[in-house]
Amino acid sequence: MNKDYALFHLREAQETIGKLISEIGSDPEYEYGNYVVDMSHIYHHVNSAWNGRDATPREADVCSDEDFQRWRQFPTDLEIL
């Protein structure tokens, strides 16, 4: 498992979740369109942490367009209970 890659994306997701909670709680003008963008950003990082977990350090550093697109997709190999 590429812990560095997973941790990077999990920390990014955590930071984005914190900002989202703060914005929704404090900004009465926060709108649905912003929510879609923010949630997409969170899912990108959570999905990348899971799907890219076995990437070599080189694959994670170089990250081809194909890998980027594949890793950001909702996991197909994770059973959600």
Domain contains 37: yes
Q: Per residue in 31-50, pLDDT tens?
A: 999 999 999 999 999 999 99
Residue span of the structural domain in which 58 resides: 3-71
Domain contains 43: yes
Domain contains 79: no
Domain contains 60: yes
Domain contains 16: yes
CA distance 59 to 63: 5
Q: Per residue in 51-64, pLDDT tens?
A: 999 999 999 898 88
Domain contains 80: no
Predicted TM-score (pTM) of the model is 0.86
CB burial class (10 A; 0-12, 13-18, 19+) of residue 59? middle
Number of domains in the chain: 1
Tokens of 72: 């950001």
